[in-house]
Structure 1
Amino acid sequence: MTTPGAPSVFGAVHLGYIIIETNRFTDWQRFGTDAIGMHHDSLSHDLMRFRLDDQECRFLLRRGPAEDVVTTGWHIDDHAAFEQIEARIRAHGVPLAAGTDEEAALRGVERLLRFPGPKGITQEIYTTPVKSAAPLRMLASAFVTGDSGLGHVALTSTKPAQVRGYFSTVFDARLTDYIDETISGVKLKIRFLRVNERHHSIAVAATQGLPIDPIPTRVQHLNIQAATLDDVARSYQRVHELGFDMALSIGQHTNDRELSYYARTPSGFEWEVGWNPLVIDESTWEPTTHQGISIWGHLPVGQTIVDRLAQFRAGARSVARFENTVPALSGAGIPDN
């Protein structure tokens, strides 16, 4: 949805950081460091961060009642692309606000702009991450970030075309592929959107034929990419040994071929640790539809019929919830082909 003649920002955009609001700091610290294996920095009673690499902040946790992701931060390669995105948002009449120096420091960036995003998740953009000279102290050997960005965010939506339209308008996101999946008789269509070489930085799932959102949190899951298969296996074992809930066992996805598992975070949404997803070749890639999310594995762990009924009761209640897709930026949405 780039204006004709305007340069695209595709490839200059990378998922940079995530902000989570929670009151469960002790559980989150154990989950992030002892189970997943990330580096932890305690900033105050109400603030802590996790690192994956030399960037000062990849996850900022602040004390509050949401128990959810409240902000996603996007690293923009250069000032020209940054200003182009800023101009697009202003041209659509959507308000932007500059972050304060204190807010930028907490996120480990030099400056930032924020604006509203789908499902009430604030979007922020920045150009220059602050690098930390402090060595990483983490159980994992490393995580894969770089040009692919932090990982991905998965949402559920009753308005998937509008969500796709939003990220296409703002970041020139491209459709990578679809997955059709049936869970407990409910048909899901999942759209995978990329903004760089990573197979997807955003996934949007919707129930087909039913106007319900079965997930009570703003995000269904977050994903980070481990450097080695051994890192995935060891963190999977630690999640079990420390008593955190496992949502899905180890498996391999049909579309990006990533091998991964899904743990349940202290806030209730899921956390995927993956390894070795394919990297997109823009010269040859064509979107396709895959049947089912997994080639093998990814089986529910410890989920009972009571759990499933509770999930769909939450989905039924979601019919009454208004889902803001920021219409000025999503337009009429992008219909599926």
Structure 2
Amino acid sequence: MTIHSLGYLRLTSVDVDAWTRFGTDVLGMTAQRSPQGGVAFRMDEHAARLEIVPGDASAVAGIGFEVENRGVLDLLAADLTSRGFEVRSGTSAECDARRVRDVRLVKDPFGMPLELYSGPSLVHDPLETRHVREFVTGDLGMGHVVFGGPEADDALTFYRDVLGFVDRNTMRAMGPDGRRGDERITFLGCNRRHHTVALMKRPAPAQLIHFMVEVGSIDDVGRAYDRALDSGIPQRLSLGRHSNDGMVSFYSTTPDGFTVEVGCEGRLIEPGTPTYETTATSYWGHRKVSA
């Protein structure tokens, strides 16, 4: 597999202050404001796993996928270029802003801005969080992302055949009538985390459906759920356990309307594990929360 992990997520926002409160008070991350007016959130030794930059609208600014080293990055960039993708090397200033040694910028078939990088900057001060005992990161990366758009078939080919992700499982997507149709959601992995990327067909425009962060215990999840409810921010789905990766989680909106999943007990996949198709989203829970 070419991609090591999901390294970071960068979002633009019209309300960085609201994100600062949400990231610390609800998600339990450690925040550091930047001179440019943004905020970087730590979950571990990496300087920024989630970064919010000021902008005129809420949007995905960059999805950082870490690779092993500069040599792998160069080979991947050359392969992408040979396949007709426009790849740009990040400037020194762009690398510094992302806290990495090298970065290559390219868009996936959805139009999502990917940032393929190596050499992340690590911070060696102890991570002090008020609410969370630990985040589950390391070689598993910061979590996962789920995308939807009309270009899902091309995106599947891109992530699987070009970036080297592997199939973990599929599930028939739910239609407007509440029944599962012919379109499938595909869950893809690049390390032992069950899935790092999931893809589904959706009407235009393509969008980030949600991102996930994993914490160390059910108590961390439950307390985060309480904090999310107390914050007054609308919730998407109640506590539940997913059928595909076994994760116990809930789904909350964020200050800009994106959705974040906070979970624990995610299944780890060994090499050679066969793929499968799930027939239900969850064993229990994950019910829509009334406004």
Q: Shorter chain as normaliser: what TM range?
A: over 0.9
Determine the structure 1 residue equivalent to 2:74: 83
Paired residues, number? 287
Query: TM-score, with normalisation over the residues of structure 2?
Result: 0.93
Q: Structure 1 residues 203 and 86 mapped into 2: Cα distance closer, same or farther (>3 Å)?
A: same
1:119, distance to aligned residue in structure 2 (A): 2.5
Superposition map of 1:38-187 within 5 A: 38-44=29-35, 46-138=37-129, 139-182=131-174, 184-186=176-178, 187=180
3-state SS of paired residue (1:292): coil
The answer as to whether partners of 2:70 and 2:102 remain within 8 angstroms in 1 is no
Determine the structure 2 residue equivalent to 1:190: 185
1:102, distance to aligned residue in structure 2 (A): 2.2
- Cα RMSD of the aligned pairs, angstroms, is 1.7
Letter in 1 for 2:253: R
Mark the runs of 5 or more structure 1 residues left unpaired by the alignment. 1-9, 304-337
CA distance in 1, matches of 2:240, 2:2: 29
Letter in 1 for 2:133: S
3-state SS of paired residue (1:261): strand
Deviations 1:292-335 (A, max 9, x none): 211100000115xxxxxxxxxxxxxxxxxxxxxxxxxxxxxxxx
Q: Structure 1 residues 12 and 222 mapped into 2: Cα distance closer, same or farther (>3 Å)?
A: closer
Whichever structure has more strand as a proportion of its residues is 2
CA distance in 2, matches of 1:279, 1:112: 28
Deviations 1:103-149 (A, max 9, x none): 21222211211112233221111111111123323221111111111
Higher relative contact order, structure no. (Cα contacts within 8 Å, ≥ 6 residues apart): 1
The answer as to whether partners of 1:14 and 1:74 remain within 8 angstroms in 2 is yes
CA distance in 2, matches of 1:134, 1:243: 33
Moved over 4 A (4+): none
The answer as to whether partners of 1:71 and 1:123 remain within 8 angstroms in 2 is yes
Letter in 1 for 2:282: S
3-state SS of paired residue (1:71): strand
CA distance in 2, matches of 1:60, 1:158: 27
Determine the structure 1 residue equivalent to 2:220: 231
Determine the structure 1 residue equivalent to 2:277: 289
3-state SS of paired residue (1:112): strand
Deviations 1:40-74 (A, max 9, x none): 01013522111100001111211112312231011
Greater Rg by CA: 1
Letter in 2 for 1:246: Q
3-state SS of paired residue (2:77): helix
Using the TM superposition, name which of 163-172 and 234-243 deviates more: 163-172
CA distance in 2, matches of 1:33, 1:198: 25
CA distance in 1, matches of 2:51, 2:174: 34
CA distance in 2, matches of 1:245, 1:143: 23
Query: TM-score, with normalisation over the residues of structure 1?
Result: 0.81
CA distance in 2, matches of 1:151, 1:78: 20
CA distance in 2, matches of 1:181, 1:165: 19
Determine the structure 2 residue equivalent to 1:199: 194
Provide the identity percentage.
28
The answer as to whether partners of 1:11 and 1:197 remain within 8 angstroms in 2 is no
1:79, distance to aligned residue in structure 2 (A): 2.9
The answer as to whether partners of 1:181 and 1:293 remain within 8 angstroms in 2 is no
CA distance in 2, matches of 1:253, 1:180: 15
Mark the runs of 5 or more structure 2 residues left unpaired by the alignment. none
CA distance in 1, matches of 2:199, 2:3: 21
Deviations 1:254-290 (A, max 9, x none): 111111100001111210011011111122x111111
